[in-house]
Chains A and B, each alone.
Chain A
Amino acid sequence: MRNFSSGFKNLVKSITLFTFFIFSLPTLVCAQTTAVDTSKAAASTVATAPSGDAAAGEALFKANCTSCHALNKRVLGPALAGVNNRHNEAWLIKWIKNSPAMVASGDKEAVKIYEEYNKAAMTPFPQFSDDDVKNILAYIKVEGDKGPVDKTDGPKLPPSADAGYSNYMIFGLIAVVIVAFLVILLLNKVIGTLERLLLKRDNAGITLLEDEQLDENHQPKDKLYIARKLVKNKKLVFFVVLCGVLTLGSFGWMDLWNTGVQTGYQPVQPIKFSHQLHAGTNQIKCQYCHSSAWKSKHASIPSANVCMNCHKYVQATEKYNGEISPEIKKIYAALDYNPETQKYGENTRPIEWIRIHNLPDLAYFNHSQHVKVAGIECEKCHGPIKEMAEVYQYSPLTMKWCINCHRVTEVNSKGNAYYDKVLAAHEKIKKGEKVTAAVLGGLECGKCHY
């Protein structure tokens, strides 16, 4: 029995060590990956050693051409790799500077391209000098000769839904390990007790056993003695129990209050849409996309055709080495839109966004009342949306939160004939009082629950 017990103790030790090792492992792996990445980056810099004309051309190309062209891919205009071989330089210079004129003059090649691309004329660039064009062509030649970029070298897809789950999994694993560890400790303890009981029976002498124990474990005896003494102090026990109950109770109470409150809820969306980029960097007004916020109860997620207003042209190819952004491709996939032919197909598939702001069905909320009538900024409830790469729930959306705002917010009645009469009647009763939403009945049940 002793042997078994000591063996078990050894096992516990080794498991502890193993656990530590597991904890430290991810850090190590991370460090390694970073190292690899840096080395790769270094390698690629070496490979694209700059050459005189092409370097100047690169700047011009990126500034002026990438919105419609990629090197190895047809975007709005044709793929440009090999363009030097398809047309002579003089023709190209003329074309780039003013293609519509060439089409109008009836140049055969020009008309052919014009027809091929759905009669969409290329923007003329009269500001380019011949040298500029030559530089660009040089760049195209240098880069285009390299051939299409290897797919595997392309940018990694942004972490998708799986990443979210993996986080959960890591925490779950840790929790499992901890629980297992605790179970093992407990078992160890139980084994100890059982052993003592066995001994007790074997020796059949209580006094002897106690003596033996006292002899064997001097240290524990002292500790247990203090503990026993403390346990016998009823006032202390009462105090400790009270503290325990209070702590647990208050935690429980707080928890109950927060049941169903989803502040900070940030689900992984099917498309990595960034409000930071659209509303923040690009300064697109909220209601350009959420167009019904000012006239309906729903702000509504924009339909894909609204996305296409911009993303038919904006394809972020410059960020993905001439490829269309994989996220924008998801819009195309949903609409079954083929960017090559610019045609819509039949095989559409709606985008299933995850709803973040969930009001219960029993509460009626109307966006237009708040946005249009009250003139409240979207950020008031939705938080710093312009800084959110991924949207999360900023406000608690509890009734208390609604009510508090209704209590303090003054009614935006200026220039609104509807309120004139109502307020005039009101003045008679409550003189000089601040007219908040609450004063006009904004706290009544039936204003939101029906």
Chain B
Amino acid sequence: MDSTKKYWKGLDERNNASEFVESNKHEFAEALPIEDVLEGAGLSAPTPRRDFLKTMGFGLGAVSLAACTVAPTKKSVPYLIKPEEVTSGIPNYYASSYKGASILVKTREGRPIKVEGNPACTINSGSLDAQAQASVLDLYDTAKLKSPLLNGVEHPWEDIDAYAKAGLNKAQAAGKTIAIVTSTVNSPSTKAVIAAFTAKYPATKHVAYDAISYSGIINANKNSFGKAVLPQYKFNNAKVIVSFGADFLGSWISPLQYTKQYVSNRNAASLKSKKMSRHIQFETGLSLTGTKADSRIALKPSEEGIALVNLYAELSGQATSAKLNNAIAEKAIKLVAKELSAAKGAALVVSGSNDEHTQSLVNAINSLLGSYGTTIDLDNPSYQYTGNEADFMALVTQMKAGSVGAVLFLDSNPAYNYCDCKGFKEALTKVATKISFSDKNDETASLCDAVAINHNYLEAWGDSNPVEGYYAITQPTINPVYNSRQAEESLLQWADNPVKDYYTFVKANWEATVLPLAGKTWADVLQAGFVSLPAKAITPITLSGDISATIATVISESKKMAAAVELHLYNSVALGDGKQGNNPFLQELPDGVSKVTWDNYAALNPKYAQKLGIAEFDLVTLKSDTYSIDLPVLFQPGQAHETVSVALGYGREKVGKVGDGVGKNAYPFLATNGAVTITKIEGYYELAQTQTHHSFEGRDIIREATFAEYLENPAHGSGNHGEKHKTYDLWQKFEQPGHNWVMAIDLNACTGCGACIVACNAENNVPVVGKDEVYRRREMHWIRIDRYYSYNEENKSITEEKEIDEIEGRMENVSVVHQPMMCQHCEHAPCETVCPVLATVHSSEGINHMAYNRCVGTRYCANNCPYKVRRFNWFNYWNDSRFDNYLNNEFTQLALNPDVTTRFRGVMEKCSMCVQRIQAGKLKAKIDKTTLKDGDVKMACQQTCPANAIIFGDANDPESEVSKALTDERVYYVLEELNVQPGVGYMTKITNTGSHEA
């Protein structure tokens, strides 16, 4: 163990606060009040004996009576006419798509219960993000409307149609605009429907705007190259990646796609071939992407533009007057410029800014670096975000002027996520006909006269064209649960289109456009789920126009932004833009960096907060000139000084019982230039964090090496050198003749996005416990992603390139390692030996089994588990009114996986290695009389991981992927020294500090 780094999970631990040490001595957060009962009022009460006898007598009587009843009669009701494709007990999979990514929907007896990535999909190749994984719960959302509304009252569809047609005709006749407000529409069929609608009502105007907008890039590309598109980035072709505030692994444009590309240059295979990309991140708050960066420099938002100007100057050799007031960043820019120009043709610079001038400057830099055609593809653009807020702004002005006669909201919620929502609400009152296609009475729908409730995507037909040449189909997997109607069908209905049925419309549209191009039939598409056409040839591109004006604008804009405290708004990885605010899986998914659940917060650098005299979890008011909110403070290492970061997507008011009032809405801040004041106010609000729940007591469980060290010795930092200690076993060796299921996790690949957590929740019926319970350390997640901070303590000799890393002292320069942690299925499991009832035992296939019905809840096992992965059911989460808002209602429980039992109060649970999947896979092989091949059985977490960081398989099969992975020199086992012989191997994290050419 040659790592001298010190890691820490939270600030308390780093500062070694005595309370922290004290509170973490215990396995469970709160001691049970046994002593109180025994010593306090319990026994000295006047008549404890009589009460005791009474209770006992009553209990005995009740139990005897209850035992006398005959077992309840259970009914078994078969289908009257069984659909041919349904076999009860066997899942059916349907190819569909979610936000353009091709998915497979698993249905059981007609209910969708899980969403999985389509392995053939060229965008996600089988992986999915947390939001898509959680989306199945949106179908079973209790907040959904059951019938369309007219003036707040349920009405039949005929009334809605009559109202809509009358309103539309009136607007058309009066010569007023009919506006269809949507978020990005990349569905060819929806576009065709809107065109058909426009043909009937020529006054129609389609306005697309996105809550999180990328119009800056689109406009910049229009200015620079005359192509108003969002390009496709090719991170897999980039050897040096420099990002200015773009969280491309977490939330920027298409994180799933980018993670795949990014990791392909940093995973085990790439390292084996001695290749690793270099990634430098300049940003304000610590983002998921920032945690993965080889070098990370904290910057204020106002410094980003200046930094880019400086970088351009360095690369182009022109001098610039703009000076960075940040010595570290200035130095870093110089080094970065050197590295970038060395990697010309394989370099990529991206910026998270939505300012078109900044993006034009980025275009100029990429053009200098020869990125176009290699790492940026403008000829096969992305259509994932095409919204333009300027159009919407114009519409609001028009609405205010009273020239809009009717407005239809499709998949958009400006009353919540538009920056000037007050102005919008005011403008909306001046529109005569207001119709929303929302499926719930959300912020905007509740201001509309009619809510023509739309299908959930799992009930609907549809299609999408997220990137050039790629078309995905959406097909229904369940009959509409409520009296909803597809929005497109409503539009067709109102436009008196001859085709009223959207299925027929989509099919006809595909048969006319996409299918002939691909040479496929409709049936092919329904089976495959998508069509991928060959990519268009790349045409050489030249930057048009003079850049100096742009630079001048960027400099002046940046100067305007500079303030005493600068606000940085970011997109939460879990909740995104907040559309899925009522999804309990996502609300309870810990943030990838801060590990906070159920809230947004004001992230401050601890050192800076000290200066301001603010303690962690103090309430502060963030105030701009037009808007203010009160938020609790979170100390975030890595945060730039004099800045505060707040996540968007929180503070929903009308989304449902789960999400209402969770966090505060930060969208109105988008209207400001980012200058805020921070005022401490009365109050203390402790955030529910999952990470600080256990102490790892400084043990050597995270291992890292630099790429240079790795090249010298692949085993560097992994602890695998020379001879190991001789070990002695108390137990006999457990034979595993058949299978031996093990796992390998590549810390260098894991980005900490949390998709695995949600996938595990959905697969294994893991309950959602809510904020209070998380706060009491009672979250139930079977897999967690531990985030460890560290910084270099020693003053090692500093090479020029390494200098970037050696900038310390301001709590800005932290590096992060994400470590997925679940039951390690130890061969010599400490939990097994302490269970008094043998409820947890080992199997001959290397799995640590947990028999819930045997468990009596002593919790010894959790106490004795060195990895702290066991979870105790403090409540009967599936049948307890306290959890009604989450999963304890009959409707939401339709999403349960029938192959996994729901656990009762008082029993332990933990990762089972998806034993139901293993058993199903084995059974399938037995029925087919074939061998079980590697990859036939996949864990839910492994399946969804966009980085392929988790590999699962049979260690008895020397050809399996996992067997090969575990022979890697980087493999180490967490707490190996305890000789519990874990079944999960980890691979050291490698950081490319750039001292060697990648």
Contact = CB atoms under 8 A, between A and B. Distances in A.
B108 to A, nearest CB: 11
Given A260-B71, A362-B853, A441-B844, A415 B929 contact: yes
A324 B589 CA distance: 61
A298 B929 CA distance: 20
A450 interface: yes
Contact of A353 (B75, B844, B851, B930): B75
Interface in B901-938: 901, 912, 915-916, 919, 922-923, 925-927, 929-932
B845 A441 contact: yes
B38 interface: no
Contacts of A429: 735, 737
A298 to B, nearest CB: 4
B166 to A, nearest CB: 34
B87 interface: yes
Interface stretch (A115-123, A126-134, A201-209, A366-374): A366-374
Nearest to B72: A358
Contact of A296 (B77, B80, B89): B89
B89 A418 contact: no
B202 interface: no
Contacts of B76: 301, 352-355
Contacts of A416: 926, 929
Nearest to A356: B76
Interface string A332-365: 0011000000000000101111110010111010
A309 to B, nearest CB: 12
A415 B929 CA distance: 8
Contacts of A352: 75-77
Contacts of B851: 445-446, 449
Given A368-B927, A446-B843, A292 B78 contact: no
Contacts of B927: 295, 368, 372-373
A300 B78 contact: yes
Contact of B899 (A353, A362, A364): A364
Contacts, number: 152
A70 B929 CA distance: 51
A373 B923 contact: yes
Given A418-B925, A429-B737, A302 B78 contact: yes
A354 B70 CA distance: 14
B66 to A, nearest CB: 11
Contact of B89 (A259, A260, A297, A419): A297
Contacts of B901: 361-362, 449-450
Contacts of B844: 440-441, 444
B735 A445 contact: no
A298 B737 CA distance: 30
Interface in B45-86: 67, 71, 73-82
Contacts of A305: 79-82
A428 B71 CA distance: 48
B956 interface: yes
Interface in B451-472: none
A450 B900 contact: yes
A422 B80 contact: no
Contacts of A267: 73
Interface string A414-441: 0111111110011011000000000011
A100 B74 CA distance: 51
B80 A417 contact: no
Contacts of B929: 415-418
A434 to B, nearest CB: 15
Nearest to A298: B89
B738 interface: yes
A262 B76 CA distance: 17
Contacts of A415: 929
A115 B88 CA distance: 40
A303 interface: yes
B80 A303 contact: yes
A447 interface: yes
Contacts of B931: 417-418, 420-421
Contacts of A300: 78, 87-89
Contacts of A358: 71, 74
A402 interface: no
Interface string B76-114: 111111100001111000000000000000000000000
Interface in A398-418: 415-418
A174 interface: no
A223 to B, nearest CB: 36
Looking at A303, A304, A360, the one whose CB has the most chain B CB atoms below 10 A away is A303
A334 B88 contact: no
Interface string A133-170: 00000000000000000000000000000000000000
Interface in A36-68: none
Interface string A302-322: 111110000000000000000
A354 B930 CA distance: 38
Contacts of A297: 89
Contacts of B940: none
B400 interface: no
Please give me the 7 A-B residue pairs with the lowest Cβ-Cβ distance, nearest first. Answer: A446-B849, A296-B89, A303-B82, A445-B851, A303-B79, A355-B76, A355-B74
7 contacts: A335-B80, A354-B74, A361-B901, A364-B919, A422-B739, A426-B737, A441-B845
Given A303-B79, A304-B79, A418-B922, 18 more contacts: A260-B71, A292-B88, A292-B89, A295-B90, A296-B90, A300-B88, A335-B81, A354-B74, A355-B74, A355-B75, A360-B853, A416-B926, A417-B929, A446-B850, A446-B851, A447-B843, A449-B849, A450-B899
